[in-house]
Amino acid sequence: MNMRQIDQRHQQGHVPIGATSGRRTILPKQETFEIFDLEVANDRRRMSDCHSVRWHVFGQDGTSGDECRGMETDAMDSRSVQVICYHRASGMPCATFRIVLCNAEDPLAKFPIEEKTDLTSVSGRLFRHMPTRRFGIAEISRFCILKEFRRGGVEEGAPPAGIDPRVWASEERHRLGLAGLLWLGAAEIACHLHVEQLYALMETRLARLAEITGVLFEQLGPEVPRPGAMRAPYVAGQSSLRSLLAKANGMDVAKRLCEDIAGQLSKNPILHRHGYAGTMPQVASC
């Protein structure tokens, strides 16, 4: 398929897995790994930090969250592996995402993307397979970064409260790799859990950022209106995720990050609650 055909598929709302825009995969620089800590939220403190970041990004628009507590939560958290990112110099939680898993108690329970979009016309997708096969799918959602840590998020040279201005200035270029760090963590979790298809309902710009990092998404349908922005349904295959991890394996700091995340997953209470023992889901009871 040539670039013209790929562009036509983009315009029609369908982008094939593995199709790129000619960009090479760009992993975060070593300095990015050194200024952020990415951790699986295995305890209440880290989970609360995830919900706080989400509230600052999503909750203050009046669409969700408990404004009294400054937390953004929903029912899907009870079946999700949540990840929190901390700014190392200040200890400030600054970014998060979650991987929504199959519900072991009710394997046919819908994923968020199924509730918000119509995917019945997408033939051959795992959504319509037998219940046990749904353990092979997951959805990444609530992927967000605090405004202060995004490009142009604060006034030039002005750090968030409590952060040394000299440290903030020295980190400026390397903070731009934060999104790539999150995608790398998501790929490690998905592959560790043998996820075959990773779904997402997201803005086109986020899919493009993922592609730069090496996660190639296929658009499944047209954009739908969601609070704050138009979003479209996407899916990434396991081969794309494994390809990213293979590239990261050649970078010591990236390899250590993936190893750390894998170790933390063994202690995640959500995985044990929903039938994931070690790296393989227990599906016999489905």
**Residue 253 scores a pLDDT above 70:** yes
Q: What tokens appear for 7 in the block?
A: 């562009």
Q: What is the pLDDT of residue 129?
A: 55
Q: What is the pLDDT of residue 229?
A: 87
Report residue 1's pLDDT band, with 50, 70 and 90 as the boundaries.
very low
What would the DSSP string read from start to end of 191-252?
A: HHTT-SEEEEEE-HHHHHHHHHHT-PEEE-S--EEETTEEEEEEEEEHHHHHHHHHHHTTSH
- What is the tally of structural domains in the chain? 1
Question: Does residue 209 lie within any of the structural domains?
Answer: yes
**CATH of residue 117:** 3.40.630.30
Question: Does residue 238 lie within any of the structural domains?
Answer: yes
Report residue 261's pLDDT band, with 50, 70 and 90 as the boundaries.
very high
Question: Does residue 284 lie within any of the structural domains?
Answer: no
| % of the chain surpassing 70 pLDDT | 78
Boundaries of domain holding 130: 3-274
| % of the chain surpassing 90 pLDDT | 60
The mean pLDDT of 178-201, rounded to a whole number, is 95
- Which among 206, 208, 214, 277 has a CA at the least distance from the CA of 244? 214
Report residue 231's pLDDT band, with 50, 70 and 90 as the boundaries.
very high
Question: Does residue 279 lie within any of the structural domains?
Answer: no
The mean pLDDT of 246-271, rounded to a whole number, is 95
**Residue 281 scores a pLDDT above 60:** no
Taking the C-alpha atoms of residue 249 and residue 244, their distance in angstroms, rounded to an integer, is: 9
Report residue 267's pLDDT band, with 50, 70 and 90 as the boundaries.
very high
Q: What is the pLDDT of residue 128?
A: 56
**Residue 257 scores a pLDDT above 70:** yes
Q: What is the pLDDT of residue 286?
A: 26
Q: What is the pLDDT of residue 96?
A: 98
Question: Does residue 115 lie within any of the structural domains?
Answer: yes
The mean pLDDT of 182-201, rounded to a whole number, is 95
Q: What is the pLDDT of residue 19?
A: 43
Q: What is the pLDDT of residue 5?
A: 39
The mean pLDDT of 204-229, rounded to a whole number, is 90
Report residue 55's pLDDT band, with 50, 70 and 90 as the boundaries.
very high
Q: What is the pLDDT of residue 246?
A: 94
Question: Does residue 71 lie within any of the structural domains?
Answer: yes
According to DSSP, residue 9 is labeled H
Question: Does residue 171 lie within any of the structural domains?
Answer: yes
Cα–Cα distance list, 153 to 38, 63, 158, 172, 213 (Å): 21, 22, 10, 11, 21
Task: Name residues whose C-beta falls within 8 Å of residue 53's C-beta, 6 or more positions apart in sequence.
Answer: 84, 93, 94, 95, 96, 144, 146
Question: Does residue 46 lie within any of the structural domains?
Answer: yes
